[in-house]
Structure 1
Amino acid sequence: MTIQEYEEKLLQLIDDGIDTATDDELFAGGYLRGHISLAAADCELENESQLLAMKEKVEQSISDAKSELSPSDECLIKLYWKELQFSAK
């Protein structure tokens, strides 16, 4: 799977869950959309094709933005990110 395909799959999973998502899942999904797209764009600019690199960029981006999140929101977002990765396999 390419990074572009993986990005599309992750974003589609977020979109597909909108009707049944909890408020927390809607928040986490909306928050992650930007981080996922930014990581994919960074990989494209760097000619990076490894999914692991994209995943690491998303995780680093979340970590870098930690100061704008409450500890509970950070945990929620990290958990949702793990769930998305599992579902996207």
Structure 2
Amino acid sequence: MTKNSTMPTEQLTIVADIYLYFDGLFELDDIDSDTLFASSYLRGLISLVATEFGDESQAISADLIDGVSEKIILAKTELAPQDYAIVNNFWLAIQQNVTFK
């Protein structure tokens, strides 16, 4: 994953912002398969956790971040070590662009 070309340029404030960012990755010519895998995997986890708090128009909250982080930890048993590292590192990088309302 190349951090500079795949990280959001704008702050993410609602769940839909994350989804739009993930969707935009598929339009990039130089996107690598690890990034696409991580974004798809995270989208599923975010969707699962987000339903506990509201819909995609909800603000990104500390509870949502924590919930997704917990799901990633639980996924460690189902992912290969390299895939787990890719997903976890991508999630940590995305969090750098989250702004709480």
Pairwise TM-score range, normalised by the shorter structure: 0.7 to 0.9
Equivalents in 2 of 1:28, 1:50: separation in Å? 19
- Point out the structure with the larger helix share: 1
Paired positions, count = 81
Residue matched to 1:24? 34
Contact persistence 2:60–2:98 (CA under 8 A): no
Equivalents in 2 of 1:65, 1:8: separation in Å? 23
Residue matched to 2:16? 8
What stretches of structure 1 of length at least 5 have no aligned partner?
none
Q: CA deviation at 1:6?
A: 1.9
Residue matched to 2:50? 40
What stretches of structure 2 of length at least 5 have no aligned partner?
1-12
1:3-58 CA-to-partner distances (Å, cap 9, x unmatched) read: xx6211111111111122210000001101110111111123xxxx7700000000
Q: Which one is further off, 27-36 or 15-24?
A: 15-24
With normalisation by structure 2, the TM-score equals: 0.71
Equivalents in 1 of 2:15, 2:87: separation in Å? 17
Q: Which one is further off, 51-60 or 19-28?
A: 19-28
Query: Structure 1 stretches (4+) deviating beyond 3 angstroms?
Result: none
Match among 84, 88, 94 for residue 78 of structure 1:
88
Taking only the aligned residue pairs, the percentage that are identical comes to 28
Contact persistence 1:9–1:88 (CA under 8 A): no
